[in-house]
Amino acid sequence: MRIAFLSSSRGWGGLERNLQRYATWMKDAGHEVEISAVPQSPLAHAVLESDLPLRLIPRQRRYLPIKAGFALKNHLLANRFDALWIRDPRDLPLSAMATRNIPCDLIFQQGMQIPNPKNAPWHRARFAAVRHWVCPLECLREEALKNTPLRPEQTKVISLALEDSWFESKTNQTIARKTWDLPEKAPIVGLFGRIDALKGHADLLHAIAEPNAADWHALIIGENTPNARGVDQLEALKKRAIELNIANRVHWKPPSENLQSAYDCCDAYAMCSASETFGMVTIEAMARRVPVVGTDAGGTPELLGNGSKGQLYRAGNHKQLASSLENREKWPLPTSEQLAQFQRSVAVTQWQDLLMHSR
């Protein structure tokens, strides 16, 4: 099959990273692929550094992108693409217009929640153009069916996934901690990703400041959200750690593309986001067999089996988080069979079946 991937985003988050990841996987599976991206965007730069074909497009208007829609339609027809694959809701109006009445399936791989109804006439036209709306979790599928005109037969649940190497044997913890310059004996809880007020880093700092979690150290890997305005969240958190008298137990590290050994340093992982749609770090920690405690909001409860594959706490309740850390030995872990859905090999097979059925 010939598959066109498209993103008019200028950011570099989960939506864009996973778009490139799945384009690579589909290419490796034998499909012909192309990625359309905005010039000078992080996605465009990343594609240039890979062996994927890149097509540069202008930043698209979100509403009534008529000229761009005709241009994209002509491109899809001229190059005989079988599918147009998008992830960003901003690209839905353009893509719906471009694929209408041509033999090219529109595939939307959902990455964000849909908390509010979208049933206006223009919404109905856009959602009707979608051939496959693929959700990473069942709770997101149910929300999409509730708040949009999508029909059940348009929707499918296929989890986001990781390279199979994530599920290989762990690095020896002593060696891993030397690599990351961490204390050898202390219990360590990790929290990785961009530094943002909604990511709940303050929860973790306050939790390890509680008497019943006073032996815990925190490994925090990340940086401020690029181009974020207002308070410098990273510096504010470092100041908070000093005020809580835990600065010697918090280990700050810059972002890294090689996080497997960082998870291997940890005795627990904390997903503290106020409401994460699908936490890639959650499945990364589980793949590395690190017990996870996460907030009872967004997609995290489903990822953790509502408490059967990890521990849950109420978002913002650092005392409850501290109590969970105190009883870490009682946290459940997912089985190998339960983790299989997050492996690249399984996800690609599911996508192959979906694409072949579509044809």
Q: At 28, is the secondary structure helix, strand, or coil? A: helix
Q: Measuring CA to CA, which residue among 173, 131, 136 is closest to residue 151?
A: 131
* Vertex 148 angle, CA 156 and 306, to 5°: 55
Cα atoms in the 13 Å half-sphere on the side-chain side of 22: 29
Average pLDDT rounded to a whole number, residues 23-52:
96
Q: At 84, is the secondary structure helix, strand, or coil? A: strand
Q: At 157, is the secondary structure helix, strand, or coil? A: strand
* Vertex 310 angle, CA 336 and 284, to 5°: 60
Helices (H), 216-298: 233-243, 260-264, 280-287
Whole-angstrom Cα distance, residue 135 to residue 140?
6
Whole-angstrom Cα distance, residue 241 to residue 243?
5
The pLDDT of residue 26 is above 90 = yes
At 225, the pLDDT band (50, 70, 90 cuts) reads: confident
> What pLDDT is stored for residue 230 in this prediction?
76
Which range, of 88-92, 224-228, 321-325, averages the lowest pLDDT?
224-228
Helices (H), 213-317: 233-243, 260-264, 280-287, 300-303
What domains are defined for the chain?
2-161+343-358 (3.40.50.2000), 164-339 (3.40.50.2000)
Instruction: Tell me the pairing of strands 155-157 and 130-135.
Output: parallel
Question: pTM of the prediction?
Answer: 0.93
Whole-angstrom Cα distance, residue 23 to residue 31?
9
Instruction: Tell me the pairing of strands 188-192 and 268-271.
Output: parallel
The pLDDT of residue 62 is above 80 = no
Backbone angles phi, psi at 275, to 5 degrees: -165, 90
> What pLDDT is stored for residue 359 in this prediction?
62
Is the Cβ–Cβ distance between 318 and 203 less than 8 Å? yes
Count of CB atoms situated within 10 Å of the CB of 80: 10
Share of the chain above pLDDT 70, in %: 99
Whole-angstrom Cα distance, residue 33 to residue 56?
14
At 191, the pLDDT band (50, 70, 90 cuts) reads: very high
Whole-angstrom Cα distance, residue 208 to residue 203?
9
> What pLDDT is stored for residue 65 in this prediction?
84
**Mean pLDDT (the chain, rounded):** 94
Which residues on neighbouring strands pair with residue 34, listed in sequence order?
Answer: 4
**What radius of gyration do the chain's Cα atoms show?**
21
Whole-angstrom Cα distance, residue 342 to residue 157?
12
The pLDDT of residue 254 is above 80 = yes
At 227, the pLDDT band (50, 70, 90 cuts) reads: low
Q: Measuring CA to CA, which residue among 303, 289, 304 is closest to residue 336?
A: 289
SS (H, E, C) 178-191: HHCCCCCCCCEEEE
Whole-angstrom Cα distance, residue 316 to residue 190?
17
> What pLDDT is stored for residue 157 in this prediction?
97
Q: What is the largest CA-CA distance in the chain?
A: 66
| More confident call, 349 vs 225 | 349
What pLDDT, in 10s, does the model give residues 6-23?
A: 999 998 888 999 999 999
**289 token code pair:** 């067999």
